[in-house]
């Protein structure tokens, strides 16, 4: 398969940007990155009255229908206007990586080749992991699924740090603070109705039509997951963001919630930042777009002094478009470096790939790695860039004899072989195709296509890493997820069991759709012929699993925990004036989709910072 490499709008390969160095400026807070972690945090700090600079490497596409309309999310993730291509590894073994069916190559003639038989001379790139360089971050190109982690995913931080504000019961308040619910009757005391983040759901009435073939699939899946199949249509309308006892052990259907309004308009940090910028007299927020942060600056008098913690005082930047080499429009652009100062703090919110890169370029990270690139050591923190984790994802894709007229079936359930009582599979089924990420995804297999996509939760292995390739801030780090490295057989067996349950439900579909012809994991009649058992499917998922919820590379942990990077208030251990607030802070992957949980911790971080500042101001008045 060949795909266009660059937009036709790119006419020439030019460009060293000759811009004058930016004038020095000082703000109370500098926030680096405008995604689910940084965007809401910057807006909240400005709304509390603190001068705040929000820096974003991309532009603003908030008025572009490709981004503002949820229906176009596949186009948004493919759009070169905002896309950053990280070519990642799943394994240390290159041969294992090259089994991935959507391995991508640069043909050298302006196109990508995707597949396992590249043309002669093609340059190997790897496995695409697109991120969004745009105001609002990846919340501007995702499918906007809004779900919450298991309680244990919050409580692990309590256990590590002793900070009870991270308890699952307390973290619910942050959903309420940000939410503008558009699908429940008003008055639920546990939900928000006047926040900045709209939440909505889709229709489920189709499930009451017993002649609909997909209703048969729904009922069969209900029976297979311990639900009352006679109430399947009612259960499909359940609120996925609900709070009930033993929720994490309860297999159920849900109506998929999205951070979008009830007209299909995407809601994200973009909306909140823009609303804050709209009242500059009241809210002192400044936004710098197309600005690449190259490193955090430190007060040199505090670096390397025994008994003194280094203090962050600002950032170094480069200004211009497409400066980062992950940008497919990058053509060697560079720009002079300038500095911006922070009177209070620098907060890094670049995401699970870029936050550890920025810390390392700034001298914070494993000392041996920094020494390799002659980066002066500010603070030895071996956990920076380690502990990279993600959900494992895969799908069952089959072709019916006729199109399946179906709404979306969403379920969260426990496979019988799960190691504990918690649910471990999040699935959504419908007449679509989703098989991972590559340039030009997804493949349209025809109107008869039907997919059950599945996300494996609570992955046992978080052995991945983000390491520097060089000291060049425009360079892209080396990213290796090391899939299934720890307890891999257990995770693979859970994926296979989940697939078997979904397959049995799908194959209950009646004529004229029946019989489904499976494309994967069990192609054609392999299963009927006894040639697609557990081991065969394990090998399929081992080579073809994908992911797009990277977390945990600057993980919160106790001060005596060797690989911890942050304390429970997001402060970098052993450094003053520096925090990291984004999905990299989670010690473990937070549930099935990290977007809404990351927005929640962004609000928590703002609350923590403002409380600290108020306390300092009160103490200063006493003196």
Binding residues for FAD: 134, 142-145, 293
User: Annotated binding site: which residue ranges?
Assistant: 134, 142-145, 293
Cα–Cα distance, 286 to 272 (Å, whole number): 13
Q: Where are the beta strands (DSSP E) in 508-571?
A: 517-520
Computed from CA positions of residues 276, 277, 278, 280, in that sequence, does the dihedral angle turn out positive or negative?
Answer: positive
What residues have CB less than 8 Å from 6, skipping those under 6 apart?
Answer: 80, 110, 328, 329
> Among positive and negative, which fits the CA dihedral 345, 294, 570, 132?
positive
Question: Residue 370: in which H helix or E strand, if any?
Answer: helix 367-372
Of the candidates 465, 437, 470, the one whose C-alpha atom is nearest the C-alpha of residue 453 is 437
Alpha helices in 512-588 (DSSP H): 534-544
In the structure encoding, which two tokens stand for residue 496, read together?
Answer: 């296979």
Q: Say which residue the tokens 């009451």 belong to.
A: 208
Give the contacts of 451 (CB within 8 A, at least 6 positions apart): 395, 396, 397, 398, 429, 430, 431, 432, 433, 434
Hey, which bits of 233-301 come out as E strands?
Answer: 252-254, 257-258, 285-288, 291-298
Q: Token pair for residue 582?
A: 């984004």
Q: Residue 348, Cα to own-chain centre: how many angstroms?
A: 16
Q: How far apart are CA 226 and CA 413, in angstroms?
A: 9
Q: In 3D, which of 206, 204, 197 has the Cα closest to residue 258?
A: 197
Please say whether the beta carbons of 159 and 168 come within 8 A: no
Q: Residue 616: exposed, middle, or buried by beta-carbon count in 10 A (0-12, 13-18, 19+)?
A: exposed
Helix axes 595-622, 168-178, angle to 10 degrees: 100
- Sorted by sequence, the CB contacts under 8 Å of residue 492 that are 6+ apart come out as 484, 538, 541, 542
Element (H, E) at 364: strand 364-365
Helix (H, G, I), strand (E, B) or coil at 225: coil
Element (H, E) at 598: helix 595-622
Give the whole-angstrom CA distance, residue 211 versus residue 454: 26
């Amino acid at each position: 398969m060949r795909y266009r490499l660059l937009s036709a709008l790119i006419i020439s390969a030019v460009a060293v940007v000759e811009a004058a160095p930016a004038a020095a400026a000082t703000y109370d807070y500098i926030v680096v990155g405008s995604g689910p972690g940084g965007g809401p945090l910057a807006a909240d700090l400005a709304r509390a009255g603190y001068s705040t600079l929000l820096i974003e490497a991309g532009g603003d596409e908030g008025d572009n229908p490709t981004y503002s309309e949820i229906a176009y999310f596949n186009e948004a993730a493919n759009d070169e206007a905002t896309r950053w291509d990280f070519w990642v590894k799943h394994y240390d073994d290159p041969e294992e990586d090259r089994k991935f069916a959507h391995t991508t190559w640069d043909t050298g003639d302006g196109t990508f080749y995707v597949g396992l038989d590249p043309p002669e001379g093609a340059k190997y790139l790897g496995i695409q992991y697109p991120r969004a360089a745009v105001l609002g971050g990846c919340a501007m190109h995702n499918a906007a699924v809004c779900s919450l982690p298991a309680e244990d995913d919050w409580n692990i931080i309590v256990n590590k740090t002793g900070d009870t504000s991270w308890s699952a019961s307390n973290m619910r308040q942050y959903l309420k603070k940000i939410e503008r619910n558009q699908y429940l009757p008003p008055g639920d005391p546990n939900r928000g109705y006047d926040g900045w983040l709209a939440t909505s759901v889709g229709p489920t009435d189709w499930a009451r039509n017993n002649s609909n073939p997909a209703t048969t699939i729904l009922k069969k899946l209900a029976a297979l997951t311990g639900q009352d199949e006679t109430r399947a249509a009612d259960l499909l309308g359940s609120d996925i963001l609900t709070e009930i006892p033993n929720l994490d052990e309860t297999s159920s259907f849900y109506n998929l919630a999205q951070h979008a309004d009830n007209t299909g308009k995407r809601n994200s940090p973009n909306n909140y930042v823009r609303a804050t910028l709209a009242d500059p007299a009241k809210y002192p927020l400044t936004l710098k777009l197309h600005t690449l942060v190259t490193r955090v600056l430190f007060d040199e008098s505090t670096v390397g002094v025994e008994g003194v913690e280094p203090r962050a005082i600002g950032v170094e930047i480069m200004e211009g478009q497409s400066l980062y080499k992950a940008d497919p429009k990058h053509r060697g652009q560079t720009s002079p470096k300038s500095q911006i100062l922070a009177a209070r703090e620098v907060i890094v919110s670049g995401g699970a790939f870029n936050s550890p890169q920025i810390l390392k370029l700034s001298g914070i990270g494993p000392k041996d790695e920094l020494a390799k690139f002659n980066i002066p050591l500010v603070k030895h923190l071996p956990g920076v860039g380690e502990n990279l984790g993600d959900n494992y994802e895969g799908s069952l894709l089959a072709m019916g004899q006729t199109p399946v007229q179906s709404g979306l079936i969403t379920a969260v359930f426990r496979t019988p072989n799960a190691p504990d009582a918690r649910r471990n599979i999040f699935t959504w089924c419908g007449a679509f195709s989703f098989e991972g990420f590559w340039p030009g995804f997804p493949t349209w297999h025809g109107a008869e296509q039907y997919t059950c996509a599945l996300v494996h939760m609570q992955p046992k292995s978080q052995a991945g890493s983000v390491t520097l390739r060089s000291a060049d801030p425009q360079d892209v780090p080396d990213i290796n997820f090391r899939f299934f490295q720890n307890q891999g057989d257990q995770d693979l067996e859970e994926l296979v069991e989940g697939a078997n349950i979904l397959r049995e439900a799908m194959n209950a579909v009646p004529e004229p759709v029946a019989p489904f012809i499976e494309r994967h994991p069990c192609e054609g009649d392999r299963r009927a012929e006894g040639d697609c058992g557990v081991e065969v499917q394990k090998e399929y998922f081992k080579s073809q699993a994908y992911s797009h919820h990277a977390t945990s590379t600057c993980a919160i942990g106790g001060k005596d925990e060797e690989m911890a990077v942050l304390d429970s208030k997001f402060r970098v251990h052993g450094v003053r004036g520096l925090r990291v607030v984004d999905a990299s802070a989670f010690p473990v992957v937070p549930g099935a989709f990290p977007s809404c949980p990351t927005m929640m911790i962004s609000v928590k971080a703002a609350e923590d910072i403002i409380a600290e500042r108020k306390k300092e101001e009160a103490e200063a008045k006493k003196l």
